[in-house]
Amino acid sequence: MPKRILIVEDYEVIRNSFFLILEDMGYMVETAETGEKAIAMAKEKKYDLIFLDLKMPGLNGVETLRELRKIDKDVPVYIITAFYDEFYDELRRAHKEGIDFELMKKPIRGEQLATVVKGILGSESG
Amino acid sequence: MFEIKLYLTGQRKRSKKVIEDLEAFLEAECKGQYALEIIDVLEKPRLAEDAGILATPTVIKTAPSPKATVIGDLSNKEKVLAALGIER
């Protein structure tokens, strides 16, 4: 059974490019353009990996992460963000609260994304 | 002497497990002939940016050449050591 990945990203171009790259690798990929939608989807299905943009209108990445962790404490969640200190106060607060997440850099090229996902999930066939 | 850098997010339970596992792998295979540097990307994101890190956790062997990198799941000892070029 292919691994299931959820992409939470408000910027359509990025969302679509992630979708195409990961689907082409054989993963089952779903997308959400808002944190609210991602939370609703996570309540319905179990994911093997979630990519979550940090800066989104409405619920931002950290707020969405807090809600996702109430649903699934174990799914790997990768916050997508530039590696710049100015974005990190809220992430540090969440971490101190005991909320688990990993980080993936933004921007990221297609082949880099593929490398990261292979490292996290291994074979797309599960 | 193997020079290893580990980039991870935070210093809580999951990261501590990654560190413990990696140190155990290295101690068993390198017999103390290694230097491990740990970089918390949450505290020092700029170091990760400068090193070209894509995601956490990432472990990089910077010496001896060639440079080698493992991203993501670091729980498989054989896979990590083989990828870093640290073989028995």
Whole-prediction pTM: 0.93
Hey, CA dihedral for A104, A107, A112, A113, is it positive or negative? positive
Q: What are the strands, taking DSSP E only, across A54-99? A: 77-81
B45, A84: Cβ pair inside 8 Å?
yes
Tell the burial category of A66 from Cβ atoms under 10 Å away from its Cβ (0-12, 13-18, 19+): middle
CB contact under 8 A, A116 and B72: yes
Q: What is the pLDDT of residues B16-62, one digit of tens each?
A: 888 998 998 888 888 889 999 999 999 999 999 999 999 999 999 99
Quote the ipTM score: 0.91
Q: Which residues of B touch A104 (CB under 8 A)?
A: 54-56
Local confidence band at A124 (pLDDT 50, 70, 90 cut-offs): low
